[in-house]
Amino acid sequence: MNKFLKRTITGTILALTLWYIFFCAPIIYLSITFLAILLWILTQEWANLFKPSTFLFWILTPIYPILPFIFLILLNQNPSSRFLIFIMFLIVASFDTGGYLVGKTIGKYKIIPKISPKKTWEGFFGGCILALISILTYRFLMNRTENLILIIIITLITCLISFAGDAFESWLKRLSKIKDSSYILPGHGGFMDRLDGAMFAAVFFYIFQGFLITVFR
């Protein structure tokens, strides 16, 4: 089975699982899922990037990866902000998918070749376009056409933040000389490899949740 097929199957299963937990299960289940993923990252993946004996490990760990997951849990437990998690993952997942497909197909011009040589400008803009298509389609299906300019701006900002999260984890892996944080997700690597952009975006969505709620409601 080639990597693209593995990536597609794993991504589909992961997306459907999160969809079911978000929409069909009790609210606490998603918080438990976030907590379980965080525990896996801390025990199985984070130590691959930094040895627990290093000073930087203890300085960085409370900020990243712990803080983004705390923010996700807090957003989830608040009925007013819970829907922002869906919005965030819709944008980030679309950006990742578009970036991967366009970059793999026609990607030529590298953005940060020394840190992540596979990231291209074509992939970046392809990801932004798919993210915009996804969020605007969702809004129109929900018959909500107000605040479109703000939504476009927020979507593009989220794409930039997601890219920064991806680049940051790529930099950490470069320092540690590893390809993936783990191999739990076939075709993707570890949870950090899959959620690096979402972890950065979670901080943005939590800090500005009051404003984002008024825009996306």
DSSP string spanning the chain? --HHHHHHHHHHHHHHHHHHHHHTS-HHHHHHHHHHHHHHIIIIIHHHHS-TTSHHHHHHTIIIIIHHHHHHHHHHHSTTTTHHHHHHHHHHHHHHHHHHHHHHHH--SEEETTTEEEEEHHHHHHHHHHHHHHHHHHHHHTT--TTHHHHHHHHHHHHHHHHHHHHHHHHHHHHHT-S-S-SSBTTTBSHHHHHHHHHHHHHHHHHTHHHHHHHH-
Quick one: pLDDT at residue 189?
Answer: 81
What pTM, to 2 d.p., does this model score?
0.92
Asked whether residue 68 carries a pLDDT value surpassing 90, the answer given is yes
pLDDT in tens, 51-66: 777 777 888 889 999 9
Q: Lowest-confidence range among 32-41, 51-60, 98-107, 198-207?
A: 51-60
pLDDT at 128 (0 to 100): 98
User: Does 39 have pLDDT greater than 90?
Assistant: yes
Domain boundaries along the sequence of the chain: 1-11+100-217
